[in-house]
Amino acid sequence: MRLSGRLRAMLVGLTAVMAATGAGAPAGAQDRLEYVALGDSAAAGPLIPTQDVNLLCLRSDRNYPAVVAEELNALLTDVSCSGAKTGDLAGRQFGILAPQFDALKPTTDLVSITIGANDSGLFQQALGCINLLPEPWGLSCADRLASGGRDVLAEAVDDWAPRFGAALDEIRRRAPHARIVVTGYGMYIRPGGCHPDQPVWARDGDYLQSVMNRISSTARKEATARGARFVDIAPLTVGHDICAAPEDRYLEGLIPTSVAAPLHPNAHGMAVMGAAVAEAAR
């Protein structure tokens, strides 16, 4: 069918207007932030309903990246994965998953990252700190890990620092215009603990939390040095640690009281973390 000159001119004009206004794309899509979430299980949310079809990563659709995306109306690409170490950002976790860095693009507007606990082996070592009986009937993990002038976990955190700094540099290289938000970890156990409710001796609980604090402070230092924003999760979780009443917990204990993995944030904790990260991203 041939078009009259007048109709052709009208269509050309309409096409120009549509191109200028973004018509033809989903409403508001061009204005939405492109958000990529990186990290380990503290970001992924293992066991919190509903879990992603990729069961390897134990990733929830109620984790803090999902909360951030909802609050900011952002387009989320969530590649956080339980068990991830810093090396898995650039390498294939489990030997098959794409590197998390592959999700980053020059058009990415926002990146969040929570990582470091698995690099130090902290969560694995925490299981060796369980003592059902009070002192002195048992063995102290603090005595085992920090003795003879050495602190094995503290050394592991210090060794991790430059690798994390290099990871932040790579995020900036791949997503040069993105706002980068780094989070620390929570206050998992209050000073002195709560044995026997949580079967970890007071000095062992204090030691484990000191390592967690060291990871967070190291992440803050590396983030600040590169102009990234840091969200301190610890103050948000004071009074909501594994010793709190079940209805007040943001972090689950060795035996969870809500649907979440042991020693991980639950859905309430993820909501609080997400709100804080969203605020930092604005």
Active site residues: 41, 264
Cα 239 to Cα 172: distance, rounded to the nearest angstrom: 35
Which contacts (CB < 8 Å, 24+ apart) does range 149-154 have?
A: 153/120, 153/121, 153/122, 153/125, 153/211, 154/211, 154/214
The CA distance from 159 to 152, in Å, is: 11
Helix then strand then coil, in percent of the chain rounded to 5, is 45, 10, 40
User: How far is residue 210's CA from residue 151's CA, in Å, rounded to a whole number?
Assistant: 11
Distance of CA 42 to the CA centre of its chain: 5
Residue 263 Ramachandran class (φ > 0 left, ψ -120 to 50 alpha, else beta): left
Query: What residues have CB less than 8 Å from 85, skipping those under 6 apart?
Result: 40, 115, 118, 119
| Beta strands 146-147; 150-151: pairing state | antiparallel
- Evaluate whether 77 touches 36 at the Cβ level (below 8 Å): yes
Where helices occur in 30-135 by DSSP H, the ranges are 41-44, 64-72, 87-90, 117-120, 122-126
Closest CA to 35 of 108, 144, 138, 140: 108
